[in-house]
Amino acid sequence: MSERQDAVGVVCADVDGTVLETDLLYESLLFAIKRHPCIVFLVPFWLLRGRAHLKSELARRAAEMSVAVMPLNEEVVAYLRDRAESGSSVILASASHTTLVGKIAERLGFVSCIIGSDDSNNCKGSRKADAIKEQLGDVPWEYVGDSKADLKVWRQAASVVCVSGDRHFSDRVRREFPNARFINKTTWGPATIARALRIHQWLKNALVFLPVALAHQWSNADAIMGSMIAAVSFSCCASGVYLLNDLLDLEADRQHPRKRKRPCASGELPLTLAIALAPVLFTVGFGIAAFASRSFVVILALYLLLTTAYSFRLKALALVDIILLAVLYTIRIVGGGVAAGVPVSQWLLGLSMFLFLSLACVKRFSELLVLQQRNENRTWGRGYSVGDIEQVASFGSASGYISVLVLALYVSSQEVVKLYQNPQVIWLACPLLLYWISRIWLLARRGLVHDDPLVFALRDRVTYVVGFLGMLIFLGAKFAL
């Protein structure tokens, strides 16, 4: 700490992007929209009356929003706490509404007073500088900020602390304020966006190729192209939904031992960027889908409608959530068939519904097991309690075994004779599927399955072996090997 900084007895700090790794305006917006989705239509009208009015309306509707788990810039907080302990007064001076700034001050515990926006004044830039000067008079003060809007405040301050991870912005601050102190800030890049889009989850969309594969249309170029269009469309929309889900589930994710590290929940990815990316991905997804058929566009719209309903409400309803997850997997298969122009077998639909219901139960079971190990009772934003864990396991095991029964009945059907020279070979796939389902549930019981079964499968060598053997079995049945 320089002598000049040490001599300044009052430290004013911005909140959004400085003390917090997130932004209270967008946090309150998302909180309000999740509880009352129709608010999204009111926001433009509030904004027409000014940003101060918008912030006031959102703060009023986010009165119950918790700030206890919002990500802090620990280095900034440590700096401010050190200044407070050395006798300096710490003031939070933010463009966010005073109601929300007050909550942050209470959480920190060492803040002397707050300055923020109210119903008529948007306390940003020069207005913030004026508010600080009005509060302090001729007393010199230090300002800790992070953005271009803070340049006007720094010009009125006795000393400057810049919180930044942007080299170009830091260079600009350094040129204008040679004695400025710098504190690091979380930055994002392509890898951060890739994690937020959950690109590894795109593997789920390989399901769109099943209708073509199981109908033995491998040489049909139009069908393959249709399946590829479906896979890309579903991937874009799915990533948009993941962003939307993360934005609406910030508080719950921050209480989860693993999900709190997600880019949106941790503050690594700016909420503004995530909010902008979601509609872009939806637009790209539907634009690509238009190259398939109108029917596929309808299927994709149904998928988006159901996933959006899941994000807003349905994931909090016990049983409805796991059934809907199974339905969403099955919709991918139906969409693949529609895009490729290949009829989807009723047997395939039955198998997928029961199998994916079992995997959805594995997901919920693993979450409940983590809660049980942490001596907690309620799930994070879900409609289950630890006492439901055995019943969820029963649902999942039963559903998995029914999927094996569907496969066995398929071997005895008339449809199988039309596609395979020696359909009896497919019987070998039944014990293979039975083993895989039993094994994943056994490992889940032991706490060895990631709460996302897909992530588990991607890292599980046995799953690859089972998949390879299954492929050999169906090829053997096809060509009577």
CB 389 within 8 A of CB 364: no
Closest CA to 274 of 282, 285, 263, 283: 263
- Average pLDDT value for the chain: 92
Where helices occur in 86-202 by DSSP H, the ranges are 98-108, 126-136, 151-154, 167-176, 190-197
Q: In this predicted model, which residue has the larger pLDDT, 450 or 70?
A: 70
The pLDDT assigned to 7 comes to 53
Structure tokens at 332: 């991918």
The pLDDT assigned to 4 comes to 47
In this prediction, residues 280-308 reach a mean pLDDT of 96
- Counting residues of the chain whose pLDDT is more than 90, the rounded percentage is 78
Q: What is this structure's pTM?
A: 0.87
pLDDT tens readout for residues 423-478: 999 999 999 999 999 999 999 999 999 767 877 888 899 999 999 999 999 999 98
- The C-alpha torsion from 386 through 388 and 391 to 393, rounded to 10°, is -40
DSSP 266-306: HTSS-HHHHHHHHHHHHHHHHHHHTTT-HHHHHHHHHHHHH
- The helix (run of H) or strand (run of E) holding residue 337 is helix 320-340
Tally of residues, the chain = 481
Q: In this predicted model, which residue has the larger pLDDT, 97 or 480?
A: 97
Instruction: Return the SS3 of 52.
Output: helix
Checking if the pLDDT of 380 tops 80, the result is no
Residue 449 carries which DSSP code?
Answer: S
Q: In this predicted model, which residue has the larger pLDDT, 257 or 320?
A: 320
The pLDDT assigned to 316 comes to 86
Checking if the pLDDT of 3 tops 60, the result is no
In this prediction, residues 311-325 reach a mean pLDDT of 90
pLDDT band at 312 (very low <50, low <70, confident <90, very high): confident
Residue 36 carries which DSSP code?
Answer: -
pLDDT band at 292 (very low <50, low <70, confident <90, very high): very high
Checking if the pLDDT of 156 tops 90, the result is yes
Instruction: Return the SS3 of 11.
Output: strand
pLDDT tens readout for residues 389-430: 999 999 999 999 999 999 999 998 888 888 898 999 999 999
Closest CA to 457 of 445, 471, 443, 473: 443
Q: How many CA atoms lie within 13 A of 368 on its CB side?
A: 21
CB 160 within 8 A of CB 1: no
